[in-house]
């Protein structure tokens, strides 16, 4: 079977799939809204939320709820990211949430003590810290009881069940293999991150 990659902008992925410019997209987060437009393969990643906190986690935060229970703790979030809504759903008062436009701004707010934690995808936090060895920060994984890890998958056009099944069959052989684990480790995924897919 021939495979021809097509380079495009992120915003064009789903419209291009819908109008037949391509048959499948790169991995995308699965959402209820997207599931109305496309069908998804089985998940290829599962990413938990995380809190970036000052080195040593001085407030002993364990997730959104423990932050909500600490009367002076403030949380940083990025504008339009799901973690803002998740924090509110887990009891963080809106007046204790600061909204930033970039990861760098939110991380700096943790470093300066403007906020005591910054919520995003744990993997993004780990990558940010790894690129900045001088960063005095740690990452706390948010427990699944507060937010289930967000799954990502390949998208195919609605009703293209034959392609979706073929992709799922291939993924069934690939996911969890030694090759897959080694590949994912190169992107910072742990064995436990891969195990969530099986």
pLDDT tens per residue, the chain (198 residues)? 678 999 998 889 999 999 999 999 999 889 888 999 999 999 999 989 999 999 999 999 999 999 999 999 999 999 878 899 999 999 999 999 999 999 999 999 999 999 999 999 998 899 899 888 888 999 999 999 999 998 999 999 999 999 999 999 999 999 999 999 999 988 878 888 899 899
Give the per-residue pLDDT at 81.
Answer: 86
Could you give the CA distance from residue 136 to residue 58 in angstroms, rounded to a whole number?
12
Could you give the CA distance from residue 109 to residue 164 in angstroms, rounded to a whole number?
43
Cβ-Cβ contacts under 8 Å for 167 (sequence gap 6 or more): 24, 41, 154, 156
Give the per-residue pLDDT at 186.
Answer: 83
**The pair of three-digit structure tokens given for residue 144, joined into one six-digit string:** 């699944």
CATH 3.40.190.10 in the chain, residue ranges: 49-141
Give the per-residue pLDDT at 1.
Answer: 65
8 A C-beta contact, residue 146 and residue 114: no
> Is 157 strand, coil or helix?
strand
8 A C-beta contact, residue 112 and residue 105: no
One CATH from 3.40.50.620, 3.20.20.105, 3.40.190.10, 3.40.50.300 for 49-141: 3.40.190.10
Give the per-residue pLDDT at 104.
Answer: 93
Residue 138 Cα distances to 50, 105, 116, 149, angstroms:
10, 16, 11, 19
Could you give the CA distance from residue 102 to residue 104 in angstroms, rounded to a whole number?
5
**The pair of three-digit structure tokens given for residue 165, joined into one six-digit string:** 């099944």
Could you give the CA distance from residue 34 to residue 139 in angstroms, rounded to a whole number?
29
**The pair of three-digit structure tokens given for residue 147, joined into one six-digit string:** 């937010």
């Amino acid at each position: 079977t021939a495979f021809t990659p097509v380079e495009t902008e992120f915003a064009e992925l789903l419209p291009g799939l819908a109008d037949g410019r391509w048959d499948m997209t790169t991995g995308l987060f699965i959402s209820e809204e997207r599931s109305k437009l496309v069908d998804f393969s089985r998940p290829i990643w599962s990413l938990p939320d995380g809190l970036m906190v000052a080195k040593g986690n001085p407030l002993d935060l364990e997730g959104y709820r423990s932050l909500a229970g600490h009367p002076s703790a403030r949380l940083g979030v990025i504008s339009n990211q799901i973690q803002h809504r998740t924090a509110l759903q887990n009891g963080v008062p809106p007046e204790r949430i600061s909204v930033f436009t970039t990861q760098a701004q939110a991380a700096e707010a943790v470093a300066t003590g403007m906020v005591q934690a910054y919520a995003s995808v744990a993997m993004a936090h780990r990558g940010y810290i790894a690129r900045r060895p001088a960063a005095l920060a740690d990452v706390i994984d948010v427990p699944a009881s507060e937010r289930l890890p967000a799954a990502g998958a390949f998208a195919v056009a609605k009703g293209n069940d034959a392609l979706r099944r073929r992709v799922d069959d291939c993924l069934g052989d690939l996911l969890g293999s030694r090759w897959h684990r080694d590949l994912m480790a190169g992107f910072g995924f742990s064995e436990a991150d891969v195990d969530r897919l099986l």
